Amino acid sequence: MPTEESLEFVQVDTGENPTAVVIWLHGLGADGHDFEAIVPELDLEGAPEIRFVFPHAPVRPVTINNGMVMRAWYDILELDIHRKIDHEGLEQSSAAIRQLIANQIESGIPANKIILAGFSQGGAMTYHVGIPHDPPLAGLMVLSAYLAAPEVVKGPGSVPLLCCHGNLDPVVPHILGKSSADQLAELGWPVEWRDYMAPHGLHPQQIGDISRWLKERLCDPGDS
């Protein structure tokens, strides 16, 4: 199993001297290239120069796919809405992602200019790593995902979250995503919830919502 020091990733910079970072985690069976093409589609005019980092998850057997080996942040043991969680895999990947964040901080990007984002299983990792992260990050963007281990939420927090989900999602039920976001909102976390008439994927309207939210999180007051 790869260690936390060996996560490979795709990097896309929107300028020569990025002052902000978005670490974007892919879903089950995909890889870091999955959302690479979205960067030019985001209207980031007026935003600071951003380094987008798209890590590749470790390769492991996935139980629900008959043990097929693929990129996965953790094993999926069952499809039930109250699914059991592979805590060992979850913690291994969490350590790797935390190291990736630490590397960006060491490169000179402060935590309050780093956003952690993820789709599906990557969104579950975003919750798991981002909620307790110290120092707090600039924001968490969770797309079509859920709290894999709700106990990671210890109380109220101040990190803004954008949580998006398709109403027609057959993979991660809408109710599962909504209940996770509601749990955080009820505890006082600043959650923006958006849903779309879409299956398990990104709706075109989401691109605009993501763009706006990124600029709100990463632009300094007074920036155009």
- The residues facing 21 across adjacent strands are 51, 114
Q: Cα–Cα distances in Å, from 16 out to 20, 47, 116, 171, 203? A: 12, 14, 21, 38, 30
Tell me what pLDDT residue 85 has: 79
> Strands, E, within 83-177: which ranges?
114-119, 139-143, 161-166
Whether residue 4 is predicted with pLDDT greater than 50 in this model: the reply is no
Return the SS3 of 89.
Answer: helix
78 compared with 106, residue with greater pLDDT? 106
Give the type of residue at 160: P
Write out pLDDT tens, residues 163-175: 999 999 999 999 9
Whether residue 94 is predicted with pLDDT greater than 70 in this model: the reply is yes
Mean pLDDT of 203-222: 90
Mean pLDDT of 185-192: 96
Active site residues: 120, 169, 200
> Strands, E, within the chain: which ranges?
9-13, 20-25, 50-55, 59-62, 68-71, 114-119, 139-143, 161-166, 191-196
**pTM (two decimals):** 0.94
How far apart are alpha carbons 79 and 86 in whole angstroms? 13
Instruction: Say if residues 136 and 156 touch (Cβ distance below 8 Å).
Output: no
Tell me what pLDDT residue 65 has: 87
Full set of structural domains in the chain with CATH: 9-218 (3.40.50.1820)
